Amino acid sequence: MRAVVRATYYIALRVSFRRSKLCKAARPPANSAQPPIVISRPEPPLTMRTKTIKALAVSLALAVAPALAACGEREPTSGGPASITIGLSAQPDALDPALSYAPEAWESLWLVYTPLLTYRHAEGEAGTELIPGLAEDLPTISDDGKTYTLRLREGLEYSDGTPVKASDFEHAIQRVLNLESPGTPFFTGIVGAEDYVERGKPKADIEGIETDDDTGEITITLTKPDGTFSNVLAMNFAGLVPGDTPFEDLTKTPPPGVGPYELTDSEPNREFVLERNDSFDLPGIPRGQIDRITATIVKDPRRATEDVISGRLDYIVDPPVPDQLAEVRERYGDRFKEFTTISTYYFFLNSRIEPFDDPKVREAVNYAIDKRAIARLFGGLMAPTCNFFPPGLPGYQRLDPCPWGDPNAAPDQERARELIREAGAEGAEVTVWGNNEPEPERVTEYYADVLNQIGLDAKPKVIDSSVYFQTVGNERTEAQTGFANFFQDFPHPANFMTVVDGDAIQPTNNSNFGNVDDPEINAGIDRLSKEPDLRAVKDQWAQLDRQLVEDAWLAPYGNRMLTTFMSERMDFDRCSLVHPLYQNDYTSFCLK
Amino acid sequence: MVRFMLRRLLAMVLVLLAVSVVVFLIFNVIPNGDPAARMAGKQATATQVEAIRREWGFDEPIWVQYATTMRKVFTGDLISYTNRLDVDEEILRGLPATLSLAIGAAVIWMVLGVAFGAFAALRAGRLADRAISVLALVGISVPVFWLGALMSHYLGFRAGIFPSGGYEPLTRDPLGWAYHLVLPWTALALLFVGLYSRVLRASVLDGLRQPYVETARAKGLSERRVLVGHVLKNSLIPIVSLWGLDFAVVLGGGAILTESVFDLDGVGQFAADAIAQLDAPPVLAVTLLGAFFVVLLGAVVDIVHAALDARVRVT
Amino acid sequence: MTAWTSSAPPEALPSTPQEVRVDPVPPPVPPVGVRRLLRSRLVIASAVALGLLVAACIAAPLWAAAVAGTSPERTNASPDDTVVVDGEERSVLADDGRPIGPTWGRRFFLGADDEGRDVMVRLLYGGRASLAIGIGAALLTALLAVPLGLVAGYLRGPIDAVVTWALDVIWAFPVVLLGVALGVALALGGLKIGPIEIAGGSRLIPLLVIAVVYIPYMARPIRAQVRSLAEREFVEAARAQGAGPVRIMVAELLPNLTSTIVALVPLLMANAILLEAALSFLGAGVQPPDPSLGTMLRDGIERLTTAPHATLVPGLALVAAVLSINLLGDGVREALEGDAVADGS
């Protein structure tokens, strides 16, 4: 069935793609997110980027103007400015670029606070390409890989008209560090950042960031080379805000930014409003088509789905609950699609604690789990996988044949039982950790049941999701095995490897729950992370992924699927672009 | 009387103090509940956790933390640990929904409870009385969250007769307000209707046995006047007292299941969400508010009662 | 201090001790009451229903092993997990996770839940847990509340003040909030009192939480009754004969409280079962994978549209259990109080 859903999904994608092409042939591209120029051009090598971008900028400037005019002309049929209402199931952790570390907030924030670098607004692999945002160009990286130089574009203004200065970048990073944002770890590689955090003074200088407001030049020095730093610069945390933005959580009064939309109104736990920023004009980044997007909090996910069906909401961020999925798929398939996110769901197997210190037991787990069963526990919104790296991540190479058997076929529990016997682990007591969100809870109970079937003595322990990761990440918990997942922070294999890096193990707040500590893998991560040109070392990353799976350091089982579900008045076929990192791209949204 | 009231007031403050200490302690013994580690995010470094701990005062002795938190409750500076919402603001925002639910349901259960109770007392021992008494027992035997979920699902989602949930402010749309609240009111009131009708029935029957009824009858008053003017009037005293207490409980975030099932987004749901996330500040504030209502209305009921009944004052 | 000892804490548990409280001097248990208790068809019916429920729950392992051939924790989520219904082989969970409905056969008699577990088996085991917790909690409450009420009511003075104050504190808490907060905290960390250690996942934790939450609902009416009893002649007489306070409390006062206790305990049981369901529904009661009626509701409600049986079955069972206890308790109370008017027809 897995295959069926995926097939329909791909067919749906292909159909919508073909339709959008037809639309474009009929009239200028309304969806500026996929300018034909981008598609027709081959991927340029890094060195050629500058020229390409400039060419792109010119052609876009020419192409976008008539396109928008055309859109505007069609508008009067619906009367007045186009506005839509979208639904979120909960107040995001914050609506401040420095503080928010939640995908549902990022979906909005990346359109409001453009960082120096950002990603192309495109689907699939094209969307993982870094492009200059507020910077003129991609950074120049020194030969030792430690110094990044960028130049701010000239004449930029925030949505309130304040001119953008190079020093605003340092201010944005200071806010992240000073507010102890969850984004802090990404920036502690900057020289002086650790010091800054420890001193706790907002106005102190971060040694490794030098800016020049006159020339717009920004220089960042790192303590050691880091091949992912360009991706870090594209994170929302590094989104620019005016230099006088206070050092506090501004969720209630979001500061201005540079982006296709501005956050004009925010009433926590009720709603926030994105209004199109008409002064916005950056090459490579589409302007919004909808004038006003009101995001309301609808706590009951069932009601949110019903509201989309009835048209009270035009789009929902969270997928419909499994209970409603069948109905939505069946009856509203023309405005509903499923897509696989770049994420991995896995069971961590603590290699420091019995019985999982024995590779045979870890192998047994990999043989025993039925990935098709787990997909069903997610209502079908889980794509079975063999790899640890998810498809779509640079460095992903499908493991075929999978050492533990086809992820879409029946598991080999006989073999698993045998291995447990061989390891002498029969009847070993195992506590299986999981959190109390509906899907993880189901999966945890299922997993414990499987362990019992192969001869262990397992009992699930389901705890609150708000304390889950810090509990299993605390060495005193001695968590043997349990639920874990990872969604990419940016499209780079090193990001995924942080949760299996033996050098990153720490006694508390450990995210390497299984204490994976393979010297070869550690060295590989260390070496490859420094490499600035990811393309050149993709195969080597894939090799690490293979090693991780073959040695059964963990038991990956699937990639989470999410959905796009829109009201009838939205133009679903033409205007629903799914970005590999930020999911649904609101700039692509339009009405029929 | 003044001394009695002062004593009640002191008792109230002491109770609230103890309630706050208990909640605070409960959240402090939760293993791995360290708010600093949580706020720092999944991949936090030790420095970062330390910085948060310092800044938010989580490294202070526990009694200092308690004092700071309590001060913040009253100055309105209390911040949630999960999404940094202003707790007092959220409570104020949720109050209209909670008030609407509580007042509406309280009126319904009072009116229906009295009506059924009086009717049952008059028909004592007959079929109607038996039926009401069994129905009342059914009412108090049904878990409200289950009933609410079924109502919301079948009458709301499936049949579409009522909205399946959500709150519509009274000021924006009075009709929509009532329409949205019909199901929650019914679900919550059902529980109490049974209870109240039983209380009233018992106290009416009790009243009918009192000597003054004979006196009134002897004076030649009509049976109806005896019943309404004397018995029912006296029977209402206990039920009104009870009503005050129950109302306080529902108001103080006591209806957290009803609010959550119908997604009313009131104080109770706020507390339910917070408790699901082990978010101490909102739980502390809502619990204090709830306890305050319970204690306050309890005292009011007592004082009113003391005024009515000299015997109570003596104790 | 407080005359009105009863408020119905909402949602989980209206308790009606005031009906008992109203009558400070309970009449001696009349033999006629017992006979009437047996005469009421409703009471007998509910006693039979309750008996059947209890018997079914006790027989849970029998059904699981001999009929369904599975355990309450056993999941059946794989496409290979099938069951034959009317000669047709069907998947227990559909591709989208929708569980199979009642098959009325040996396996999945009442259908499966969202993990493909047998609802009938879980219902029997879950009912067992819910009843055990409800009954256990009510008895524990009585065990704690009666001495507290006795001591506070009879000794008065500072002891009374402290006990009353402590009861007021528990009383002032919104019940569900206190229950959930305690439940969550203890489920995470377990409990350690001296040599006794209870693991976080133990069913004793919800039992304990519920018992504590309900103490004032029993202790307050008892205290009030003790106070008025303490002024009566027979207590004076005992005291004049040189009986100590302990003796008076145990030998003189306690027997006079029997009817109050007997009337209150069924009510507490009914409410404790409801509170267990509420706590488990919110994830603060019985911990997975153990079934209870509350955890079953929590799992079932996720599938209300596509598998209503997973919600309706445990819900109806819950209502049946609580209602039969309430009817029985009501009958007992009526018999004890000798409701002359009701009997007058």
- A486's tokens: 């990872």
The β-bridge partners of C91 are C82
**A198 touching B, CB under 8 A?**
yes
Task: List chain C residues with CB under 8 Å of A448.
Answer: 73, 289
pLDDT bracket for residue C29 (50, 70, 90): very low
**Cα distance between residue B200 and residue C318, in whole Å:** 27
Domain count, chain C: 1
List chain B residues with CB under 8 Å of C166: 18
Q: Which of A97-111, A561-575, B148-162, B209-223 has the lowest mean pLDDT?
A: B209-223
**Does A536 have pLDDT greater than 80?**
yes
For B315, the closest chain C residue by CA position comes to C1
Residue C84 lies in a domain: no
pLDDT > 70: percent of chain A: 86
Residue B277 has pLDDT above 90, yes or no: no
Ordered structural domains, chain B, with CATH: 95-277 (1.10.3720.10)
List chain B residues with CB under 8 Å of C344: 124-125
- C-beta separation of B101 from B182 below 8 A: no
For the segment A260-282, what is each residue's pLDDT rounded down to a tens digit?
Answer: 999 999 988 889 999 999 999 99
Q: Which of A385-399, A554-568, B32-46, B201-215 has the lowest mean pLDDT?
A: B32-46
pLDDT of residue A10 exceeding 60, the answer is: no
Which letter does DSSP use for residue A90 in this model?
S
**Which residues lie across from A431 on neighbouring strands?**
A459
In chain A, what residues touch C80 (CB-CB under 8 Å)? 370, 410
* Closest CB from A180, A251, A299 relative to B55: A180
Residues B71, B78: Cα–Cα separation, whole Å? 9
Residue type, A547: Q
Q: For strand A83-88 and strand A292-297, is the pairing parallel, antiparallel, or unpaired?
A: parallel
Contact indicator for B84, B299 with CB cutoff of 8 Å = no
Q: What percent of chain B has pLDDT over 90?
A: 11
- Going by the DSSP 8-state scheme, the letter that residue C65 receives in this structure is I
Grouping H, G, I as helix, E, B as strand and the rest as coil, residue C43 is: helix
d(CA A258, CA A160): 9
ipTM: 0.88
pLDDT tens by residue, A376-399: 999 999 999 999 999 999 999 999
Q: Which three-class secondary structure state does DSSP give residue A486?
A: strand
**What is the reported pLDDT for C243?**
84
Residues C289-332: pLDDT tens digits? 899 999 999 999 989 989 999 999 999 999 999 999 999 988 88
- Residue A439 confidence (pLDDT) above 50: yes
Longest Cα separation, chain A: 74
Chains touching chain B through at least 3 C-beta pairs below 8 angstroms are: A, C
Chains that touch A (3 or more CB pairs under 8 A): B, C
Q: Which of B15, B286, B305 sits opposite C3 (nearest CB)?
A: B305
Which residue is closest to B158 within chain A, CA to CA? Answer: A306
Structure confidence by residue, pLDDT tens digits, B120-163: 888 877 888 888 888 888 888 999 899 999 998 899 888 888 88
For β-strands A209-212 and A217-221, DSSP reports them as antiparallel
Q: Chain C window 173-202: which residues touch B at a Cβ cutoff of 8 Å? A: 173-178, 180-182, 184-185, 188-189
Q: How close C93 gets to chain B, by Cα (Å)?
A: 22
Residue C246 domain flag: yes
Domain presence at residue C56: no
| Record: contact C42-B14, CB cut-off 8 A | no
Q: Please state the length of chain A.
A: 592
- The answer to whether the peptide bond before residue C308 is cis (omega within 30 degrees of 0) is no
Q: Is the pLDDT of residue B56 over 50?
A: yes
Residue A438 in contact with partner chain C when CB distance is under 8 A: yes
Does residue C27 lie in a domain region?
no
pLDDT in tens, C2-18: 333 333 333 434 333 33
Does any CB of chain B come closer than 8 Å to the CB of residue A185?
Answer: yes
Q: Provide the 3-class DSSP secondary structure of residue A558.
A: strand
Q: Residue B61: which pLDDT band, with cuts at 50, 70 and 90? A: confident
Cβ neighbours, 10 Å, residue A427: 10
pLDDT for position C42:
80
- Considering chain C, what percentage of its residues have pLDDT values greater than 70? 86
For B:254-283, CB contacts with A below 8 A are: 263, 265, 269, 273, 276-279
What integer pLDDT is reported at residue C86 of this predicted model?
86
* pLDDT at site A584: 93
- At residue B194, does pLDDT exceed 90? no
- Residue B222's pLDDT band (cuts 50, 70, 90): confident
pTM for the model: 0.86
Expressed as residue numbers, the domain containing C199 is: 119-344
Q: How confident is the model at residue B216 (pLDDT cuts 50, 70, 90)?
A: confident
Give a yes or no: residue C216 inside a domain. yes
- From chain A, pick out residues whose CB is under 8 angstroms from the CB of C289: 445, 448-449, 459-460
Q: What percent of chain C stands above pLDDT 90?
A: 46
Share of chain A above pLDDT 90, in %: 71
The reply to whether C115 touches chain A by the CB within 8 Å rule is yes
Q: In this predicted structure, what is the pLDDT of residue B28?
A: 78
Interacting residues of A70 by C-beta distance below 8 A, sequence separation 6+: A27, A28, A30
- Write out chain A residues lying below 8 Å of C201, CB-based: 459, 461
Round to whole Å and give the CA distance between A179 and C277: 41
Taking the CB of residue C315, how many other CB atoms lie within 10 A of it? 24
Measure the CA–CA gap between B184 and A412, rounded to whole angstroms.
Answer: 51
What pLDDT shows up at residue B238?
A: 77
Rounded alpha-carbon distances, angstroms, from residue B308 to B199, B302, B303, B311: 20, 10, 9, 9
Q: Give the chain C residue whose CA is nearest to the CA of B190.
A: C11
Query: Which of C:307-336 have CB within 8 Å of B?
Result: 311, 315, 318-319, 322-323, 326-327, 330
C positions 197-236 inside 8 Å of B (CB) = 227
Name the H helices within chain C.
Answer: 18-21, 31-39, 41-58, 60-62, 119-155, 157-172, 175-189, 204-230, 233-240, 245-247, 254-281, 293-300, 309-337, 340-343
pLDDT band at C35 (very low <50, low <70, confident <90, very high): low
pLDDT of residue A43: 35
Is the pLDDT confidence value at A59 over 90?
no
Quick one: tokens of A75?
Answer: 């508008």
Does the residue C338 lie in any domain? yes
Q: Kindly state whether A431 is in contact with chain C, defined as any CB-CB distance less than 8 angstroms.
A: no
Average pLDDT over residues C249-264: 88
> What's the CA angle centered on A149, arms A144 and A153, to 5 degrees?
160
A-chain residue closest to B48, CA distance: A180
Contact B32 A91 (CB under 8 A): no
Residue C61 lies in a domain: no
Q: Is residue C6 part of a domain?
A: no
Residue C191: CATH number of its domain: 1.10.3720.10
- Contact state of B286 with C177 under an 8 Å Cβ cutoff: yes
Segment B204-226 shows an average pLDDT of 79
**More confident call, C25 vs A564:** A564
- Candidates B120, B264, B298; CA nearest to B180 is B264
Distance CA A568, CA A135 (A): 39
C74 at interface of A, judged by CB pairs closer than 8 A: yes
